[in-house]
Amino acid sequence: MTKKVLLIEDEPSIIQAISFILSRDGWTVDSHADGATAIEAVARKRPDVVVLDLMLPNRSGLDILTDLRANAETEALPVLMLTARGQKRDREMAERLGATLFMTKPFSNAEVLASVNALAGAA
Amino acid sequence: MTGSRIRERREVLGLKQAALAKAIGISPAYLNLIEHNRRRIGGRVLNDLARALGVDPSALTEGAEEALLEQLAAVAAGPDGETAEAIRSDDLATRFPGWTRTVVAQARRIEALERTVATLSDRLTHDPFLSESLHDVLSTVSAIRSTASILVETPDIEPEWRDRFQRNVFEESARLAEGARTLVGYLDAGAAEDASVNSPQEELEAWLAARGHWIAPLEEGSTTPEDLLNAPDAPGSQSARTLAASYLRRYAAEARQMPEAAFRAAIEDLGNDPAALARQFDMPLSAVLRRMAVILGDDAGLVICDGSGTLTHRKPLAGFALPRFGAACPLWPLYRVLGRPSAPLRARIALAGRQRLEFIAYAVCDASQPRSFDATPVFEAVMLLLPAAAGPEPQGDPVGISCRICPRTSCAARREPALIADTV
């Protein structure tokens, strides 16, 4: 059975690129672009790994992460945070709120693939 | 200053303090006070001292101007507040006036640079447009990098995917170009604004001061605030223009409600009595205080603060210095009315300092009218300052400018130690 990743990201080109890379590596990839309904998407898709952008329309990735960690069903769900803001305080905030990994844009495909696989192995 | 010169001259001549005191028939203790600028002298004592020291009396009394001393005191009250020798500033200014001016100029330069750094730092951290733009550019770069990488590293890519990714690279590169152009334009505009080290408030105040706080076209009703702000000589930065728009709209409204000629006639008739003027024009006291500050020109000062006590408008009055940075004296009537909105206060105040100038302060605090229940009211306090005729003895409530440069050491409202010593 293939593992599932949910990509919560609002940039269509990034969604397509990451979906392509992970799909070719055997992942089942779903994507969701709206921050406001991201929690429902996680509950519905039940992914093995979440790739979560920090700046999303309608709701910040940090708020979504907080909700995920407050829910018993998702508190241990591996989350790779993506952000264009590589500032130290963003990273610290994401780690404090429970991000499993943190990656800044622009990233390489190999980094994303290696990180998602690492998170799946650790899960 | 005079005392410092006497001491310097005496030391040059190799005279003991006791010997000089004896020569002119005063006690060494009194001469000591004179030399430490604790006693003012003139007349016979000054002439005797000058004669004993072999100089003209004017050589002992003329020198570093008071303004330079005040500037030096402000430098001594710098950010770290640890200038132990502030008490010797008289000596420094007297002996080395050129160096003193250099020190003052350097301190101002440092202050200006620090404020520029703070402005830029604040902008990078809090400017939402900059943050959004950078995020957008980096996201686009990510998309291009990731997509181009797929195209290069996946030789067996399906034609459908290849076409889609090629289209994505094309579209994202166009978006990147546009985003970069917008960002550069924004930063260029910002750089032009940052060339001025003044805050928007200072920029507006300088603009108003250059006009004597008198906006003739608004008095005549010949133009609008918007037209004024579109004129070539409007404040340069967008932030200052935003502040100016708010100020000028209120100015224009009050000029219409209290026209110059009628207001001057009312002052002629009623005197500088804000309450009587408010009744005459059926206007709020705060509006009358602002209008009086405009109409009375250089004979009136005006200070406005918000609910936090931050000074949002400063129209200086001769003799009553207004702090550029940091908090002012908490004893100002301006702050006393913050705690009692809608209850105006009139007070005679005496400013600490050698000149002991006195002023009449009229202050009132207004709250904005909430348009919904449970809304947080916004407070604004206004204080009009008028010079008061000096009496033989100080009559006013003692106030200062700010604690750091205030000589009233025993003041109950003091927040921090003073950096200047005096005998006041």
CATH number reported for the structural domain that contains residue B90 in this entry: 1.10.260.40
Residue B316 lies in a domain: yes
Boundary residue ending a domain (B194, B224, B252): B194
pLDDT in tens, B174-229: 889 888 877 777 776 655 554 444 678 888 988 898 888 999 999 998 889 999 98
**Residue B34 main-chain phi, psi, to 5 deg:** -60, -45
Helix, strand or coil, per DSSP, at residue A83:
strand
In a domain, B187, yes or no: yes
Shared domain for B318 and B424, answered yes or no, is yes
Of B323 and B165, more confident = B165
CATH number at residue B169: 1.10.287
Q: Which of B142, B161, B164 lies closest to A106 in CB terms?
A: B142
Residues B22-65 have pLDDT tens digits of 988 888 888 888 888 777 777 888 888 888 888 888 777 765 46
We find that the CATH architecture of domain A4-122 is: 3-Layer(aba) Sandwich (3.40)
For testing contact with chain B, the best of A23, A31, A105, A108 (most B CBs within 10 A): A105
* Lowest mean pLDDT across A55-64, B120-129, B325-334, B375-384: B120-129
Catalogue the long-range contacts made by B389-395 (C-beta closer than 8 Å, 24 or more residues apart): B390/B356, B390/B357, B390/B358, B391/B358, B394/B350, B394/B356, B394/B358, B395/B348, B395/B350, B395/B358
On chain B, the residues whose CB falls within 8 A of the CB of A84 are 134-139, 142
Is B258 domain-assigned?
no
> How much is the pLDDT for B87?
57
Same domain, B38 and B152: no
Report ipTM for this prediction: 0.88
Q: Chain-centre distance of CA B248, in angstroms?
A: 20
User: At B420, is the pLDDT very low, low, confident or very high (cuts 50, 70, 90)?
Assistant: very low
Q: Does the beta carbon of A93 lie under 8 angstroms from any beta carbon of chain B?
A: no
B132 and B99 inside one domain: no
Query: Going edge to edge, which strands form the sheet with B379-387?
Result: B311-315, B301-306, B379-387, B358-367, B345-351, B397-399
A16–chain B Cβ distance below 8 A for any pair: yes
Strands B397-399 and A49-53 come out as: unpaired
- Count of other CB atoms within 10 angstroms of residue B264: 12
Considering its fold, how many domains does chain B have in total? 3
Q: Are residues B323 and B368 in the same domain?
A: yes
A44 interfaces chain B, CB cutoff of 8 Å: no
For the residues A54-59, what does the mean pLDDT come to? Answer: 84
Helical (H) or strand (E) element with B280? helix B274-281
Structure tokens at B291: 């209008």
Regarding whether B424 and B306 lie in a shared domain, the answer is: yes
Structural domain includes residue B259: no
Q: How many residues does chain B have?
A: 424
What is the rounded distance in angstroms from the CA atom of residue B271 to the CA atom of residue B285? 15
> pLDDT tens across B63-96, in order?
546 667 667 777 776 655 555 466 566 777 777 7
Query: In terms of domains, do B60 and B145 share one?
Result: no
Q: How many CB pairs under 8 A join A and B?
A: 65
pTM: 0.47
Say yes or no: B50 and B80 in one domain.
Answer: yes
- For the stretch B98-132, pLDDT in tens is 787 788 788 778 877 777 776 666 565 556 667 67
CA distances to B31, B193, B205, B261, B286 from B221, in Å: 63, 30, 22, 13, 22
N- to C-terminal Cα separation, chain B: 16
Q: The domain containing residue B175 runs over which residues?
A: 127-194
Identify the burial level of B177 via C-beta atoms within 10 angstroms of its C-beta, where 0-12 means exposed, 13-18 middle and 19 or more buried. exposed
